[in-house]
Structure 1
Amino acid sequence: MEKKTSNRLKKGETAAKYSTLVNLFLAIIKGVVGVLSGSIALIADSVHSFSDIFASLAVYIGLRFSRRKPDEKFPYGYYKFETLASLVISVIIIITGFDIIFESLNGILTPKTIEIPLIALSVAVLSVAVSLLLARYKERVGNEIGSPALISDGKHSLVDVFSSIIVFVGILSAYIGYPVLQSVASFAVALLIMYIGLKFGKEAILVLLDACIDPGIVENIKSIATNFEGVEGVHDIKVRRSGPFVFAELHLGTKKRLPIQKADEISRSVEKLIKKEINDLDTITIKIEGEKKLILRIAAPLVDNKGLMSNISKHFAKSPYFLIADITNGKIKKFQIKKNPSLIYERKRGLKTVEFLKNEDVDIVLFEGEVKEGPTYALSDELIKVLSPDGITLEEILLNAAIKEQQ
């Protein structure tokens, strides 16, 4: 897992590095041509690209720190440095938006003509093409490694595509005689940039505050754990993000008498299934708790079939009938009397009886005689508890057993 984590972070680090170099190239080209042509829109776009450089640099530094191994000071690792970098990106985007608004308002008040317009238009087209390729590349790598900062940086590059298109339209408008429109275009780009910056900033702050921003993951964990055999209940699921990874914890309810070894086996199996399903999951903490059942199913071997007036048999596997009752809140909710299907077998009749009780989902069997060693172990393995009858009538015996179990 450690090697896999390191490879993912290294891949994201490489993507951020390439992004920085490409944006540096775009920023210099747009800045030089913007100054030479006198295009406010292109200069603003250049400033925007320089902000991308600092944003990509922040992601690079964040991912670099994230690769550090946990230590005494940071026992949960350095993953949140990546989220902190994402917050830095958002702040840079917002500041850049303010800068572009200021420049745009100046341009609207004092429109200027553009020199070398064809070169300025060519640079705007180049910016559109490169930004589109860069956006797709960073989002693809970000999704592969589960990096929110790289994904947000990719979306920011996608914003660059639209802003460069608007800049192109503004420069084209100035070229045909409407110089004020390039400043209007810059103003529109600034508003879009600030919206994206605020959105990314909100997500980063929520992650840093350990807010649950992945409700789908919570439902997925609950579904996997609930459907696992031996799990009686799932509750207190908590999920938080730390950089590109997810940390989770949950409580599993099992049968009250579950042996420690069996509980540990269930815990490890559930953890393995959840990690297999959720690729971003780094660590999951599972706490096993004995679940108190609201409805107890109690079985009793019977001599005859007279409803609640029946008599309990002193034979386990040879009993002709079994009463199976559901008891809740100190009352018998329902009961049924079934023929013992194991009577047709000559051998292993006790084990067949246990199998029958298991299929009926019995929690307790009432019996005052001795059960052979094989069926005793089988009952224990299936977590079916054996209690001696306590009471006079069958109804009293059933209710006393339920009270004793739930104490």
Structure 2
Amino acid sequence: MVQRITHAVTPHSHDTAGKTDTALETSSRGMRVLAVSFAVLMVTAAVQAVIVAASGSVALLGDTLHNLADALTAVPLAIAFSLGRRAATRRYTYGYGRAEDLAGIVIVALIAVSAALAGYEAVTRLLDPQEIRAVGWVAGAALIGFAGNEWVARYRIKVGKEIGSAALVADGLHARTDGFTSLAVLLGAGGAALGLPLADPVVGLLITVAICFVLRDAAREIYRRLMDAVDPALVDAAERILTSVNGVRRVGSVRLRWIGHALHAEVEILVPHDMSVITAHGVAVEAEHRLIHELPRLRAATVHTDPDGPADADHHATLTTHRPH
């Protein structure tokens, strides 16, 4: 009985060892993705650099630099994943998971720079077309660049969605923009082989437009994460889970937010007003337990219990003036 009463006055915040292990595993998966993609892109850039030296292709040089920059975006993300493993402190009470969002801002900025550079190079070549030597080798290098970037993009986006990392998804989209740049080099080389020197800059401008669309998607993803947006379907699922808990009459507010690639929840449930404190606490604990184990990637939940009734009672009257309207 003493243990039950003691537990009744503790906050209803539930963070299981299993969820902690899962969080560490998702960070480990993220680090593996970064390591593998870094290696693939560095090899791709190295192969292209050799062909740049032999062909003198300015377009391929730009593509090589883009691939090198894309590989280096793994650095801020790796730092973010490492920081995310650190324990919460009295200053950073929610931990360091939001470092991923800061890394996402850096990645969006790099996509914007890629778009600007691609556009600049396309306009420059449009005004002053350049002859390309060893067209076949340039085309081969462009294919290697496109294949490497697209493979990395799919890998990053897939794992990023699975572990809930918006920054890793944005980094995958960044890799895809560099793949588009490689495709522009390939099409430009094909045009040069057909005696159409303006094909390279024209295609480059079209690819710049495509990169801008990718930039929009990545920026929107990071903006929503910074603004604590979540998929409304997650809120619906949380409400269904809470409603199914025995003893819960109604569900009040449900707030979800991403901290890194883990979800945190703050919810309100209403229970019968004549229910004992210990029984109401048991309902809250069960609600926490169900949420954490049934809502994907939810690491911690705080459940606030309110009495439902009597009809003429206002249990929050003293807080009315302190709540936003």
TM-score range, shorter chain: 0.7 to 0.9
- Give the counterpart letter for 2:208 in structure 1: A
Indicate the residue corresponding to 2:73 in structure 1: 55
Whether the 8 Å CA contact 1:17–1:57 is kept in 2: the answer is no
Whether the 8 Å CA contact 2:166–2:225 is kept in 1: the answer is no
Q: CA deviation at 1:32?
A: 4.1
Indicate the residue corresponding to 2:224 in structure 1: 206
**Matched ranges for 1:222-237 at <5 A:** 222-237=239-254
Q: CA deviation at 1:135?
A: 2.3
Change in Cα spacing, 1:212 to 1:136, as seen in structure 2 (3 Å) is closer
Q: CA deviation at 1:24?
A: 2.0
**Matched ranges for 1:140-289 at <5 A:** 140-209=158-227, 211-289=228-306
Indicate the residue corresponding to 2:51 in structure 1: 33
User: Any idea what SS the aligned residue of 2:229 has?
Assistant: coil
Whether the 8 Å CA contact 1:41–1:186 is kept in 2: the answer is no
Change in Cα spacing, 1:172 to 1:293, as seen in structure 2 (3 Å) is farther
Indicate the residue corresponding to 1:67 in structure 2: 85
Indicate the residue corresponding to 2:123 in structure 1: 105
Whether the 8 Å CA contact 1:47–1:96 is kept in 2: the answer is no
Whether the 8 Å CA contact 2:73–2:171 is kept in 1: the answer is yes
Q: For 1:274 and 1:67, locate their aligned partners in 2 and report how far apart those are by CA, in whole Å.
A: 23
Question: What are the Cα deviations for residues 133-190 of structure 1, in whole angstroms up to 9, with x where unaligned?
Answer: 2223223322332222222222333344444333312211112111211122222222
Q: For 1:192 and 1:46, locate their aligned partners in 2 and report how far apart those are by CA, in whole Å.
A: 19
The percent identity for this pair of structures is 25
Whether the 8 Å CA contact 1:41–1:183 is kept in 2: the answer is no
109, 126, 138: which one aligns with 1:120? 138
- Give the counterpart letter for 1:237 in structure 2: V
Q: For 1:77 and 1:282, locate their aligned partners in 2 and report how far apart those are by CA, in whole Å.
A: 12
User: Any idea what SS the aligned residue of 2:256 has?
Assistant: strand
Q: CA deviation at 1:35?
A: 5.0
Question: What are the Cα deviations for residues 86-136 of structure 1, in whole angstroms up to 9, with x where unaligned?
Answer: 111000110121111111100000111110111111111122222232223
Could you list the runs of 5+ residues in structure 2 that have no partner in the other structure? 1-18, 313-325
Whether the 8 Å CA contact 1:66–1:81 is kept in 2: the answer is yes
Q: CA deviation at 1:79?
A: 0.3
User: Any idea what SS the aligned residue of 1:213 has?
Assistant: coil
Number of equivalences? 294
Q: For 2:149 and 2:64, locate their aligned partners in 1 and report how far apart those are by CA, in whole Å.
A: 12
Residue 92 (1) aligns with residue 110 (2): yes
Question: What are the Cα deviations for residues 21-63 of structure 1, in whole angstroms up to 9, with x where unaligned?
Answer: 2222222333442354233432232232123123222211111
Change in Cα spacing, 1:71 to 1:79, as seen in structure 2 (3 Å) is same
Moved more, 6-15 or 132-141: 132-141
- Give the counterpart letter for 2:232 in structure 1: P
Whether the 8 Å CA contact 2:139–2:186 is kept in 1: the answer is yes
**Matched ranges for 1:307-346 at <5 A:** none
User: Any idea what SS the aligned residue of 1:78 has?
Assistant: coil
Q: For 1:293 and 1:220, locate their aligned partners in 2 and report how far apart those are by CA, in whole Å.
A: 29
Residue 44 (1) aligns with residue 62 (2): yes
Could you list the runs of 5+ residues in structure 1 that have no partner in the other structure? 295-328, 330-407
19, 26, 35: which one aligns with 1:8? 26
Whether the 8 Å CA contact 1:9–1:63 is kept in 2: the answer is yes
Q: For 1:101 and 1:32, locate their aligned partners in 2 and report how far apart those are by CA, in whole Å.
A: 24
Q: CA deviation at 1:264?
A: 1.6
| Greater per-residue strand proportion | 1
Whether the 8 Å CA contact 1:230–1:266 is kept in 2: the answer is yes
Q: CA deviation at 1:72?
A: 1.8
Q: CA RMSD in A?
A: 2.0
Change in Cα spacing, 1:169 to 1:190, as seen in structure 2 (3 Å) is same
Runs (4+) of structure 1 moved beyond 4 Å? none
Structure with more contact order per residue of length (Cα contacts < 8 Å, sep ≥ 6): 2
| Greater per-residue helix proportion | 2
Whether the 8 Å CA contact 1:51–1:96 is kept in 2: the answer is no
Q: For 1:137 and 1:49, locate their aligned partners in 2 and report how far apart those are by CA, in whole Å.
A: 16
- TM-score, normalised with respect to structure 1: 0.68
